[in-house]
Amino acid sequence: MLRHPIHREIDQSVTLWGLEPDDLVVLAIIAYLVGALTSQVHIRVGPVDATLLVSFGAIAAAFSFWLYFRRGKPRAYLRDWLRAASEPDVWIVTHDLQSRPVNRGE
């Protein structure tokens, strides 16, 4: 039997090595794209094939840019932004009658 109560920390985010699930998805997408692009290009520095080194550098640079972009933004920013951008009403171009009503003949 427990002697002390266990308090859940609801405000803590779920992380893996300090990365949120959105960060891991972005890292996987970046790694896939860089791997697909660098597999077609064979980079040689002297007698050494440097393709793997260049791909690791590109992944690190792109992911560092992602972390810099995401700094100061709330948790699940990417998910909320994608959900808001994919709403069908966002992209419909119509008159906004509530904020500026059309006055005809006045």
Work out the end-to-end distance of the chain between its first and last CA atoms, rounded to an integer number of angstroms.
78
Predicted local confidence at residue 64, as pLDDT:
85
Q: Is this model's pTM higher than 0.85 or not? A: no
Q: And the tokens for 28?
A: 């996987």
Tell me: the pLDDT tens digits for 7-62?
Answer: 666 666 666 666 777 778 888 888 888 888 888 888 787 887 878 888 888 888 98
Predicted local confidence at residue 10, as pLDDT:
65
The CA–CA distances, whole Å, from 1 to 57, 88, 91, 103 equal: 52, 53, 57, 73
Please tell me the distance from the alpha carbon of residue 33 to that of residue 39, in angstroms, as a whole number.
10
Is the separation of the CB atoms in 73 and 93 below 8 Å?
A: no
